């Protein structure tokens, strides 16, 4: 492994990942809008916390589905294209793994925006479309279905990481993929700390149904999960309507 190439990959990964297309489009479409405020949840009990990072989900809520979709696509591509090129030119190296992790870290802690970023799901998807597309789809589906069965929608974005690690180890016999999946899990969980704290506040007050409804309505992927759950007759309680 060439150290000069590795340094270039680390720097490029972080700086490209730090591009916040949600903020860029918000500046064009609604210059007076504060995405930091748009991602906060306020309740009658005085609870306040972030329900998402500043990324495609926040853009979808604040700017509309069209711009949310554009932001998601660009956040996916900023990881997909460089990871694909590194995988193509260095198929036996780990540069594509390194770029992916640094791109996600840049997305979550962007140097251009006081290190206030997203949760990293879009660049994770962009990376995995190159690194392990089938495993990503299978593991995400298992995570979503498991979350539906246990009526814990907020866990769907967590469950699939350990499953992906097992997939890399047991199905692909690929230790590098398994370690990479663990790295994704660690990075995502650190970014989720504010939301975890908010969930704990709701749990202490016995108001997890309200929190669940908030999560289900906060992002396109969780709204899709809500629709799927209704189709298979889960979550039919009035407080989830």
- Residues with Cβ within 8 Å of 144's Cβ and at least 6 positions away in sequence, in order, are 156, 160, 225, 228
CA distance 55 to 147: 23
CA distance 56 to 165: 25
pTM to 2 decimal places? 0.80
**pLDDT one digit per residue (tens) for the chain, 241 residues:** 788 999 999 999 999 999 999 889 888 888 777 776 666 655 555 555 555 678 877 777 777 778 888 998 999 999 999 999 999 999 888 999 999 999 999 999 999 988 888 888 899 999 999 999 998 888 888 877 777 777 666 666 677 778 888 888 888 888 888 889 889 889 988 888 877 777 777 777 777 666 666 665 555 555 555 555 555 545 444 444 4
What tokens appear for 219 in the block?
């992002």
CA distance 57 to 77: 16
């Amino acid at each position: 492994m060439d150290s000069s190439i590795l340094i270039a990959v680390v720097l490029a990964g972080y700086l490209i990942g730090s591009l916040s297309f949600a903020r860029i489009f918000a500046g064009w479409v609604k210059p007076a809008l504060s995405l930091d405020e748009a991602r906060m949840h306020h309740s009658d009990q005085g609870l306040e916390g972030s329900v998402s990072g500043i990324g495609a989900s926040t853009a979808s809520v604040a700017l509309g589905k069209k711009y949310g979709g554009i932001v998601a696509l660009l956040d996916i591509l900023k990881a997909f294209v460089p990871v694909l090129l590194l995988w193509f030119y260095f198929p036996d190296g780990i540069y594509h793994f390194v770029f992916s992790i640094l791109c996600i870290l840049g997305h979550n802690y962007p140097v251009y925006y006081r290190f206030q970023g997203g949760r990293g799901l879009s660049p994770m998807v962009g990376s995995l479309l190159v690194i392990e597309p089938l495993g990503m789809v299978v593991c995400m589906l298992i995570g979503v279905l498991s979350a539906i069965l246990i009526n814990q929608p907020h866990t769907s974005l967590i469950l699939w990481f350990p499953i992906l690690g097992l997939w890399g180890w047991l199905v692909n016999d690929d230790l590098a993929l398994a370690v990479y999946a663990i790295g994704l899990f660690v990075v995502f969980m650190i970014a989720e700390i504010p939301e975890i704290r908010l969930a704990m506040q709701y749990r202490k007050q016995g108001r997890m149904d309200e929190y669940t409804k908030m999560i289900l309505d906060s992002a396109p992927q969780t709204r899709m999960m809500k629709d799927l759950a209704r189709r298979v007759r889960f979550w039919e309680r009035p407080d989830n309507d």
